[in-house]
Amino acid sequence: MTRCECVLKSQEKHLRMASAIPARYGECEFQNYQTDFNRGLAGAKITLERWAEQYPLDRTGLLLVGPSGVGKTHLSVAAMRRLIEKGIPCLFCDYRELLKRIQNSYNPSVQATELDVLKPIFETEVVLLDDLGAVKPSEWVWDTVSLILNSRYNDNRTTIITSNYLDGPSAAVDGVEGARRASREETLGDRIGERMRSRLFEMCRLVQLDGRDYRPRFRTALAR
C-alpha cells in the first residue's frame, strides 16, 4: 500500500509552511542557481544536490562557507526544499534573529520562554542555521551556540550551516597579536570559538564557495 498523491501533496504543503523559509528565498531551487561557469560554485551545487538525494542514508550535516553573495543560502534552501519533497521536516533559522528572539524571551512581559524558542530547533530533523557568526562574539553568544550545536549533535540531528567567515583558527590559537591581529581578517574560529569550530567538523562536511557577489549584477539586470 502507498499513500495517494493528494496526501503526499498535502504533507509537502504542511512541511513547507512549517519550514519558515523566508519569502525572499521561496523560489530558491537547484535549477535556478547561477554558477557563472565558476567550477567551484558548480561543484558546490553538485555536492548539495547529491547530498539531498542521498539523505537520510548519510545524516552528516553541511557547513557552507564563502564571501557574501555567492549563493550559500540559495543552495541550502534548495537542499531543504528537496528534503521537504521527500517528506522530511526542515526548519530555516536566521542566526541573528534567533539570538534576538532568545534575548527577548528574558523579558517578563513576553509570553515565550527560552525553551519555547529553542524547542523547534532542538527537535526538527533538519535545521538550516543561516549566517553563523554574524553577531559579535560574547560569552553569552558562545554559550548559546554551544547549547544548540551540542544538543543537535547529541540527538544525531542534521544541521546545515552557512557562514561568511572562512574556516580557520582563532587569532589566539594562531598566535596573532598586536597590530597584526587588528588588521587580520576574522575567521570562523574567531566568531564562534575553537571548541564549537571543532564540534562543527564532527557534525558537518565543509563546502567552500568562492566567487563574485551576484546580487549587484542581479539588481542591475532588473533595473534595465
DSSP E strands, 42-89: 61-65
What pLDDT score was predicted for residue 179?
64
Strand order in the sheet with 90-94: 90-94, 126-130, 158-163, 61-65, 204-208
| List of residues 6+ apart from 11 with CB closer than 8 A | 87
What pLDDT score was predicted for residue 215?
54
Quote the cell numbers at residue 180: 597584526
- The CATH number of 19-223 is which of 3.40.190.10, 3.20.20.100, 3.40.50.300, 2.60.40.10? 3.40.50.300
Specify which residues 174 forms β-bridges with: none
Under a CB-based contact definition with an 8 Å cutoff, are residues 40 and 208 in contact?
Answer: yes
The C-alpha atoms of residue 17 and residue 2 are separated, in whole angstroms, by 24
Could you tell me the CA-to-CA distances from 186 to 12, 13, 97, 161, 198 in Å, in that order?
A: 40, 40, 22, 18, 17
Specify which residues 90 forms β-bridges with: 126
Spans of all domains in the chain: 19-223
What pLDDT score was predicted for residue 178?
66
What pLDDT score was predicted for residue 169?
87
Predicted TM-score of the model (pTM):
0.88
The C-alpha atoms of residue 48 and residue 29 are separated, in whole angstroms, by 11
What pLDDT score was predicted for residue 224?
37
What pLDDT score was predicted for residue 5?
65
The C-alpha atoms of residue 29 and residue 128 are separated, in whole angstroms, by 15
Residue spans of the chain under pLDDT 70:
1-8, 177-183, 212-224
Angle (nearest 5°) at CA 200 between 128 and 78: 25
What pLDDT score was predicted for residue 140?
93
What pLDDT score was predicted for residue 108?
87
Q: Indicate the SS3 state at residue 125.
A: coil
Instruction: List the one residue out of 162, 5, 144, 143 whose CA is nearest residue 74.
Output: 162
